Amino acid sequence: MQRKDFLKLGLAAAAGSLVPFRSGLAQALTGGGSKTKLSVKVMDLKLQYAWGLSRGTWTTRRNAFVKIERDGVAGLGEAAPIARYNENAEGAAAFFEKARPVLERDLWGYAVRWNELEALAPTEHAAKAALDMALLDWVGKKLQIPVWKLLGLNKDGALKTTYSIGIDEVPVMQEKIRAYPDFSVYKIKVGTKDDRKIIEGIRAVTSKPLRVDANEGWKTKEEALENINWMAGLGVEYVEQPMPAEMIQDFAWLKERSKLPIYADESLMKASDIPRIAPYFDGLNIKLMKCGGIQEAVRMVAMARALGLQLMIGCMVETSLAISAAAALTPLFDHADLDGNLLSATDPFKGVKTVKDQLVLNDKPGLGVEGSVW
Ligand code: MG
């Protein structure tokens, strides 16, 4: 500022007109120059194959999308809510509207905004995840840097992803393995009375390492132990959520006797769950849609590492928008299961690329995602 401008400012202050100058400065510092425009869309994603888990089978998934626009920059987010956690897309869309007053505040203060969003409802984790990724997308785009860089990570540390094979008739599961030959490790959904047939069927078509997810499908600790120790001789690396989340004491019994590491998925939502469940598991499956976003996932990583736990990052059925947000965090993890965009037949976004099975992050600002659902 020129000396004469300071003089003018002094005269203006003397004339009692400093208030507009102050509010202009505050806007420049906070990026709060304009009102936040909020756009919401609920959309069905058609799946490439019927998606079979121990708790049901789906041919479509319904996700909710959000766009926050301010000062000429748009931040995008996606919620993939599921019934297991008593959430749905309409509820997520309603939460976006409820969050409008928070999003009118300083978007640079994204950590404070997250706390305010968290305080709005005890649940709606998927909707919170969508808003958190939209905030970080906005901040990254304003700074013209990718979110992975904003988090202090290196994109060369991005992981390979598994490809998940949902429960189906064994020949169909075998066909999926043949259709996706480039993956180094497959994740096999089990939790049925035919699990041995499933694993033997998969083993008939590939000798690659497997990770197994029972999605709470084994109902007693004895059944879980028998299945796990049988799988230990068949190239299975670890097992996710063998029993229902509420059987926490039985997990202690199982961990003592299991020949394979056991990872918590449904037993875990957010950081505050970790101290309670840590003694019963070898690893955790962290998902943005369970914990409420990138910022909470980073806090969980720090806490889990301090407790000596292994870590995988997982997903729901999501487009490349939410998968790109999760992929940006993979340098912090041991394993990634980020194939939700590959399971969907329709993907309106382009972001992280899956080259064979390697997640490849780009250098574009924010989440590095292009495309729209509006
Ligand atoms: Mg799982």
Predicted structure pTM score: 0.91
Distance 287 CA to ligand 1 centre (A): 9
Distance 100 CA to ligand 1 centre (A): 32
Domain-ending residue, one of 97, 127, 144? 144
266, 351: one domain: yes
Confidence class of residue 19 from pLDDT cuts 50, 70 and 90? very low
pLDDT at 325: 98
Distance 212 CA to ligand 1 centre (A): 9
Structural domain for 247, as ranges: 150-371
Distance 313 CA to ligand 1 centre (A): 10
pLDDT at 34: 83
Q: Flag whether pLDDT at 35 surpasses 50.
A: yes
Distance 197 CA to ligand 1 centre (A): 20
64, 120: one domain: yes
Mean pLDDT rounded to a whole number for the chain: 92
Distance 314 CA to ligand 1 centre (A): 7
Buried b (16+ CB within 10 A) or exposed e, 333-369: bebbbbbbbbbbeebbbbbbebeebebebbebbbbbb
Confidence class of residue 268 from pLDDT cuts 50, 70 and 90? very high
Confidence class of residue 141 from pLDDT cuts 50, 70 and 90? very high
Q: What is the CATH number of the domain that holds 278?
A: 3.20.20.120
Distance CA 195, CA 191 (A): 7
Q: Tens digit of pLDDT for each residue in 351-372?
A: 999 999 999 999 999 999 999 9
Q: Tens digit of pLDDT for each residue in 82-92?
A: 999 999 999 99
Higher pLDDT residue, 274 or 10?
274
168, 90: one domain: no
Max Cα–Cα distance, the chain, nearest Å: 85
320, 173: one domain: yes
Distance 89 CA to ligand 1 centre (A): 20
Q: Flag whether pLDDT at 340 surpasses 50.
A: yes
- Segment 108-122 shows an average pLDDT of 98
Distance 74 CA to ligand 1 centre (A): 32
135, 78: one domain: yes
- Segment 252-276 shows an average pLDDT of 98
280, 311: one domain: yes
pLDDT at 282: 98
Distance 119 CA to ligand 1 centre (A): 27
37, 112: one domain: yes
- Segment 77-84 shows an average pLDDT of 97
Q: Tens digit of pLDDT for each residue in 207-230?
A: 999 999 999 999 999 999 999 999
Q: Flag whether pLDDT at 20 surpasses 80.
A: no
Distance 316 CA to ligand 1 centre (A): 9
Q: Flag whether pLDDT at 27 surpasses 90.
A: no
295, 338: one domain: yes
160, 106: one domain: no
Percent of the chain with pLDDT over 70: 91
Distance 324 CA to ligand 1 centre (A): 19
66, 136: one domain: yes
- Segment 130-143 shows an average pLDDT of 98
Q: Are 327 and 153 in contact (CB under 8 A)?
A: no
Q: Flag whether pLDDT at 5 surpasses 90.
A: no
Q: Flag whether pLDDT at 13 surpasses 90.
A: no
Q: Tens digit of pLDDT for each residue in 177-187?
A: 999 999 999 99
132, 158: one domain: no
Domain-ending residue, one of 144, 161, 176? 144
Distance 362 CA to ligand 1 centre (A): 27
Q: Flag whether pLDDT at 24 surpasses 90.
A: no
What does 256-310 look like in DSSP terms, one character per residue?
HH-SS-EEESTT--SGGGHHHHGGG-SEEEEEHHHHTSHHHHHHHHHHHHHTT-E
Mode of pairing for the β-strands spanning 283-287 and 163-165: unpaired
Total count of domains within the chain? 2
Q: What is the CATH number of the domain that holds 24?
A: 3.30.390.10
295, 157: one domain: yes
Cβ-Cβ contacts under 8 Å for 301 (sequence gap 6 or more): 286, 311, 329, 332, 333
Confidence class of residue 33 from pLDDT cuts 50, 70 and 90? low
Domain-ending residue, one of 118, 144, 170? 144
